[in-house]
């Protein structure tokens, strides 16, 4: 009941999105498919998959349907599908209606080596979803049954740098939209993920609308680690809107080379924030995040609110913990409400980097043109001395502005605003306390 109530709150004022994707109109097409698989029935260009039931693997039948009906088709998935087979699909002009659920079996021994490897931060995926002009919707659920993964990880912490996965204990992403253009994902729930819930990988024009994400562990000693709502990598023109995210890591994270991003009308709970980054992790690589607009976010009971995280520099040519170059430019957080958040506004160029390293090797990835407009609410008090804003650059950050900032420290503390190497503090609507990096 609590989750349903939160979803209603997040979507109450949601505007209609200008989406494309694909809506199937079978009466306009002469195309007809013929199936030789008894679990896949066809009616002209409409294909329906019937679950096997009894815990049997529906993965091969799903793959058969996606191959048979891979263009100018409607694929109906009305039932409950058990999947223990990696899904790798490529579609053109297809509408998918998931009215039931896809449930990945919690078999670490199978999925950890078998899931599709995506290189960045050792991410892997259950389903690599490639398409051009595709809509995936229907009110159904993708359940990754992550509790087994969270429990194992709590006893055997095996991760990459900065919360990445590892090659020996891969934690798959339930749905990766990769090498795609003009894809709409809407009206779905994605729950219980072992790792990030959604990964947008090398894609353009991807829209997520009315998505419900929920990953909360039943075991207090085994949290849902690294359960980001979205991670976006080497992609452009991505929109995430009108959605509810209850998890234990970033609500949305813009990874390297994400440009023209829009995030609006989100309710986040238990989050690590809306995060630009982490960036600059790999020595000699260029990371860019530019033209990002975040609006109307409710961030609750979270570690961070509006966050930008960049690694410090490095003189180690093999470094995987700093030394990358590039820039963060033209990022706006507007109408951003925080409630019980540790770091309501956090900008750092020393993410996951020691102070000594940052002092010796300031970040070589620059930050400029970042605008905070109407960030309001309350801090949790978890950060000492009433700190509500920290803008801490190891190299100078330029054109950082803030207007309409009203963030209360916890209890009766006086709000503190910490700054380091901010080029023009006059563009901020609060008085900075200078700190060493």
Q: How far is CA 105 from CA 143, 294, 361, in A?
A: 9, 35, 46
CB 417 within 8 A of CB 389: yes
Element (H, E) at 94: strand 87-98
Decide if 143 is catalytic: no
Residue from 143, 249, 250, 287 carrying the catalytic annotation: 249
Query: What is the C-alpha to C-alpha distance for residues 345 and 389, in angstroms, rounded to an integer?
Result: 5
SS3 229: coil
- Please state whether the peptide bond connecting residue 388 to the residue before it is cis, i.e. omega within 30 degrees of 0: no
Candidates 59, 70, 64; CA nearest to 35 is 64
Residue from 137, 197, 214, 272 carrying the catalytic annotation: 272
Residue 115's contacts (CB-CB under 8 Å, 6 or more residues apart) are: 86, 124, 125, 126, 170, 172
262, β-bridge pairs: 239, 293
Query: What is the C-alpha to C-alpha distance for residues 15 and 281, in angstroms, rounded to an integer?
Result: 37
Tell me how crowded residue 241 is: count the other CB atoms within 10 A of its CB.
Answer: 22
Residue 70's contacts (CB-CB under 8 Å, 6 or more residues apart) are: 89, 90, 91, 92, 94
Measured between its terminal Cα atoms, the distance across the chain in Å is 45
Decide if 272 is catalytic: yes
Q: Which residues are catalytic?
A: 249, 272
């Amino acid at each position: 009941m609590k989750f349903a109530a939160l979803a209603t709150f997040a979507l109450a004022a949601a505007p209609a999105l200008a989406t494309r994707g694909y809506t199937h109109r079978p009466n306009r097409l002469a195309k007809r498919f013929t199936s030789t698989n008894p679990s896949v029935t066809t009616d002209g260009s409409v294909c329906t998959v019937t679950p096997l039931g009894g815990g049997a693997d529906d993965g091969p039948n799903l793959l058969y349907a996606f191959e048979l009906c891979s263009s100018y088709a409607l694929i109906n998935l009305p039932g409950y599908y058990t999947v223990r087979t990696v899904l790798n699909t490529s579609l053109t002009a297809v509408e998918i209606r998931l009215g039931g659920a896809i449930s990945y079996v919690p078999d670490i021994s199978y999925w950890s080596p078998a899931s599709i490897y995506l290189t960045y931060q050792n991410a892997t995926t259950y389903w690599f979803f490639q398409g051009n002009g595709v809509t995936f919707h229907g009110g159904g659920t993708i359940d990754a049954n992550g509790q087994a993964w969270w429990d194992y990880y709590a006893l055997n912490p095996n991760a990459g740098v900065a919360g990445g996965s590892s090659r020996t204990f891969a934690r798959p992403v339930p749905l990766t939209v990769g090498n795609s253009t003009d894809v709409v994902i809407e009206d779905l729930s994605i729950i219980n993920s072992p790792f990030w819930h959604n990964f947008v990988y090398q894609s353009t024009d991807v829209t997520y609308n009315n998505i419900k994400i929920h990953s909360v562990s039943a075991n207090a000693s085994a949290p849902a680690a690294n359960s980001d709502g979205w991670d976006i990598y080497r992609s452009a023109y991505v929109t995430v809107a009108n959605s509810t995210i209850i998890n234990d890591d970033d609500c949305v994270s813009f990874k390297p080379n994400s440009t023209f991003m829009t995030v609006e009308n989100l309710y986040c709970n238990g989050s690590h924030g809306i995060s630009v980054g982490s960036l600059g992790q790999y020595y000699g690589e260029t990371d860019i995040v530019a033209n990002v607009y975040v609006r109307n976010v409710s961030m609750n009971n979270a570690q961070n609110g509006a966050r930008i995280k960049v690694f410090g520099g490095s003189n180690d040519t093999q470094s995987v913990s700093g030394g990358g170059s590039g820039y963060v430019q033209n990022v706006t957080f507007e109408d951003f409400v925080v409630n019980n958040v540790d770091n309501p506004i956090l900008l750092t160029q020393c993410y996951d980097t020691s102070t000594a390293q940052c002092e010796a090797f300031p970040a070589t990835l620059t930050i400029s043109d970042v605008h905070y407009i109407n960030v309001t609410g309350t801090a949790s008090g978890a950060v000492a001395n009433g700190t509500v804003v920290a803008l801490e650059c190891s190299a100078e950050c330029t054109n950082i502005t803030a207007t309409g900032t009203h963030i209360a420290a916890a209890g009766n503390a006086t709000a503190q605003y910490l700054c380091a190497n901010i080029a023009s503090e006059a563009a901020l609507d609060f008085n900075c306390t200078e700190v060493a990096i």
